[in-house]
Amino acid sequence: MTDTTYWSNKRVCVTGGAGFLGYHLIEKLKARGATNIFIPKIENYNLVEQADVKRMLSDAKPDVIIHLAAHVGGIGANREHPAEFFYDNLMMGVQLIHESWKAGVEKFVAIGTVCAYPKFTPVPFREDDIWNGYPEETNAPYGLAKKMLLTQSQAYRQQYGYNSIFLIPVNLYGPRDNFRPESSHVIPALIKKCVEAVDRGEKEVPIWGDGSPTREFIYVDDAAEGIALATEKYNGSDPVNIGSGNEISIRALAELIAKLTGFTGQLMWDTTKPNGQPRRGLDVSRAEQYFGFRASMPFEEGLRRTIEWYQKNR
């Protein structure tokens, strides 16, 4: 059950609201009756800078902040910009939570990342395992910067009674995803490669790694629903996974995308390139238990919709 009364008179600020997940979340909030939504654009507010954070809070006067904004990318981008990924994500989050608490913002929803989990977390990843080891090296700086917001969120609740929650979405996919080769994640990257190979009549598509790692993906609209529900109903310190509960190998994923895009050539695995984390799949029972969230989009249907969107909009 959605709670439309929750949103009707709330001033909501969604950082990163102009991005991929942000677009879908804003649509959800409007459908739930939110009329006062503030989206700080990067051109007007650089949220890495404390002065901009304060100015944004003074302009938006939010009751609720949903912090989606992040400096993100795939394995390649994480390897090339580890320092930026660490600094930007840490400074943005830490200052936003601190200044929001100071400004009297009622509720803060911090969005973490599945990259915060240890490299060898037992699958399915349970939230209680998040501190049992160091993250996978290629995205550790990003993952750890985000994980500090969990520590901060819990500390501010403990000392100040501040209502801040921490959600951990798994890898997203769906219409409006980022298809830029230098920073895209695996699903849009594979869709783009296969669609272009079909267009050009190419017989091979190169893919990083050996295809053995597994990943879990959540359709962006499902993730937005999970975040909206948690904002309405969850007021606790425990981190909560937002996922689909379906794990798939990169090899099976690539074969499925090839099938759905009509690519009939060879998938060429480049084993000189890194695989990233060996397995990734979430225990999603806590989200259902705490605020009644369960993902609903079947994976193949979600992929089909994503491919159709890309073919229309590229």
Instruction: Look at the block and give the residue holding tokens 């989050």.
Output: 93
Preceding peptide of 181 cis, ω within 30°: no
Three-state SS for 164? strand
Question: Do residues 144 and 115 lie in contact, with contact meaning Cβ atoms separated by under 8 Å?
Answer: no
C-alpha angle with apex 15: 139 to 142, nearest 5 degrees? Answer: 10
* SS3 assignment, position 264: coil
From CA 32, how far away is CA 6, in angstroms rounded? 9
| CA triple 111-192-218, angle to 5 deg | 30
**For residues 135 and 120, what is the distance between their CA atoms, to the nearest angstrom?**
8
**For the CA atoms of 46, 174, 145, 235, what is the dihedral angle to 10 degrees?**
90
- Please, which residues bridge with residue 248 across strands? 215
Tokens 């990233």 correspond to: 276
Q: Residue 103 burial by CB count (10 A; 0-12/13-18/19+): exposed, middle or buried?
A: middle
Element (H or E) spanning 266, and its range? strand 266-270
DSSP lists the bridge partners of residue 205 as 267
Cβ proximity of 75 and 85 under 8 Å: no
- Is the CA virtual torsion 87, 88, 94, 95 positive or negative? positive
Would you name the residues annotated as active-site residues? Answer: 142
| Cβ–Cβ under 8 Å, residues 37 and 26 | yes
